Structure formats: C-alpha cells, structure tokens
C-alpha cells in the first residue's frame, strides 16, 4: 500500500476557463460538477493545464477557493501551489490549506534551476508550513531541472510529503522512487498511465480526463481489479487521443481547443499561449472523430 491510497485512481488537471480575458467561474463550476459526475478521485486546479503562470496571485487564490466550494466535499481537491520563489509557494500553499484543499501539488522551482539541496530545502520549507499532504511535481521539461530520485527519497522522510506527480517520462526514475519509498506515485503523462501503474504507480493526473474522464477512470479501475486485458484495451484506445491531441501544441492549447469543439469551454487562452492554427484544428477534429467523439463536435 502506498502512503496516500485515497488519491489513487484518476485526478484531472483542470483547465482554467477564460471569457473576455477574465476567469469564467461559472464554467469552472460546471467543469468540477462534470468531474464529480464522472466519479473522478480529485481535481487539480492551478497547475500547468490551468495556465497558472498567467494567473495573478489573486486570481490563483480565487480559482482555488472556487474549486473547493464547487467540490463541496464530493471530490478531492489537490491545488497547484508551486512557485520558483519559496516564500510565494509557502504563501499560496498556506492559503490553499486554509481554503480547505485536500492536498497541494507543488511544482519544482522553475527557471532558477536550483541544486538538489535547493530542491530539498524548498520542499521541506513548504511542507513545514502546512499540515496537508504535499505532492511533488517533477516536470523537468517545463522547469529545466530534474529532481533526482535520491532527493525524492530523502524528501519522502518528511511525513506530509507523500505523493509524486511523475512527469519525467523515465521508467528508471519512477522505478527508483517506487523501489525506495512508500510514496503514492501518480503519472503525469496520459500515455504512460498503464506502464507506470504496472511498476507500482497508483493512478494519473490526467489532461485528457478533461474530456473523457470515465474512460481514464475505467483504465485505472481495470488495472486495480487485475483485469489486464481490459486495462490494455483502454490504454490502446486512449493512447492515440493522448498522443495526437497533446502533440499538436503546448498543453493546454490543444485540450482547450478540443473542449471548445465539444462545447465545454470557450477555448480562450492567455498570452503567451496562442490558439491552435487552422491546419492543426482540422487534425484535432480528426483525432476526436477517430476516438468516437464526432457526434459531440459542434457545427461551428
């Protein structure tokens, strides 16, 4: 058993809806209700998919507060509270804890590229500031530096540093963490959910779960009940969607475009994110149709 089995299964990294340049809180509430209805374990606002780098501090707090209110105890909330400033990460994590989140997703400090000791001291300070569980978010493709397995193993000695969102794409890295700790490892890449669960990971923080949460949940549940044939079938069903949608552009550009097609979001982005080009919109439509979502695509 991993340390936080209550976060096993499907967590969805929810987008931040915008309308006319401002956060669309009404649509955000609808999206949380959609995830509750799908039986999702947790929603993750304010992460990479939620365009957190372009949210003001006040907006970030407002999004967290709104998601906690919409969740109403029916679904767990793991709020993104990371920053490349330790003091800012502490401030936002404290706010999230007081707002009532169930856990905090704390990304590795980005741009300033700390040494491994810097990573350790950063996460140690954030964890010491709250009583809620901390999920380390290791995504070197975004941050510019990997949190090495030895550092994660060391951080696992801190009681409330209990989870890892593993977004390195490295099976070796995941194996090293799973072999040496009882941390709850969650895949950070939709295409690697099943491979990582086979190693001992306990689920996924999903992007495609914004549009097909029931299928992603079904994959996790099939694996957990030992139905490897069904888990593989769902993996191979979801894999082209994950690959072909998310490879079109930087996340969350393509998933927001898909949600616009499906009528569940405006598709609005904030600079420096820009809309999906027309030729890629056509490819995305083909991908959604191939998955079986063609009947849900709006005419416009």
Domains and CATH numbers, the chain: 5-226 (3.20.20.70)
> By C-alpha distance, which of 205, 293, 299, 174 is closest to 244?
293
Residues 6+ apart with CB under 8 A from 285: 261, 297
Which pTM was predicted?
A: 0.97
Query: Is-catalytic flag, 165?
Result: yes
Q: Per-residue confidence at 146, pLDDT binned at 50, 70, 90?
A: very high
pLDDT tens readout for residues 14-62: 999 999 999 999 999 999 999 999 999 999 999 999 999 999 999 999 9
* Burial class of residue 39 in the structure, from the number of CB atoms within 10 Å of its CB (0-12 exposed, 13-18 middle, 19+ buried): middle
Examine the pLDDT at 300 and tell me if it is beyond 80: no
Query: Is-catalytic flag, 137?
Result: yes
Catalytic residue among 165, 214, 236, 237: 165
Instruction: Please say whether the beta carbons of 46 and 64 come within 8 A.
Output: yes
Give the CA distances from residue 231 to residues 165, 212, 214, 217, 234, in Å, rounded to whole numbers and listed in that order: 21, 15, 13, 10, 5
Evaluated on CA atoms 20, 22, 25, 27, the torsion sign reads: positive
**In this predicted structure, what is the pLDDT of residue 299?**
74
Catalytic residue among 22, 110, 113, 137: 137
pLDDT tens readout for residues 121-130: 999 999 999 9
């Amino acid at each position: 058993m991993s340390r936080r089995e209550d976060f096993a299964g499907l967590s969805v990294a929810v987008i931040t809806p915008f309308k006319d340049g401002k956060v669309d809180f009404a649509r955000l509430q609808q999206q949380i209700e959609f995830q509750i209805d799908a039986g999702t374990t947790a929603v993750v606002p304010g992460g990479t998919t939620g365009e957190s780098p372009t949210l003001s501090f006040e907006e970030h707090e407002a999004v967290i507060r709104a998601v906690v209110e919409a969740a109403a105890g029916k679904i767990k909330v793991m709020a993104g509270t990371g920053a490349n400033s330790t003091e800012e990460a502490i401030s936002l994590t404290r706010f999230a804890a007081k707002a009532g989140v169930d856990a905090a997703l704390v990304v590795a400090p980005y741009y300033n590229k700390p040494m491994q000791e810097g990573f350790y001291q950063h996460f140690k300070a954030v964890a010491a500031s709250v009583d809620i569980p901390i999920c380390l978010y290791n995504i070197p493709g975004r941050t510019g530096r990997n949190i090495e397995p030895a550092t994660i193993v060391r951080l696992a000695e801190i009681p409330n540093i209990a989870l890892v969102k593993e977004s390195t794409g490295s099976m070796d890295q995941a194996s090293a963490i799973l072999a040496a700790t009882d941390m709850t490892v969650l895949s950070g890449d939709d295409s690697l959910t099943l491979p990582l669960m086979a190693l001992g990971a306990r689920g996924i923080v999903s992007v495609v779960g914004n549009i097909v949460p029931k299928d992603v949940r079904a994959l996790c549940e099939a694996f957990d009940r030992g139905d490897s044939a069904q888990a593989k079938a769902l993996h191979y069903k979801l894999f082209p969607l994950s690959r072909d949608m998310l490879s079109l552009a930087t996340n969350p550009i393509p998933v927001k475009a898909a949600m616009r097609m499906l009528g569940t979001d405006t598709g609005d982005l904030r600079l420096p994110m820009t809309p999906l080009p027309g030729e890629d919109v056509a490819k995305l439509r083909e991908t959604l149709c191939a998955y079986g979502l063609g009947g849900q695509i709006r005419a416009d």
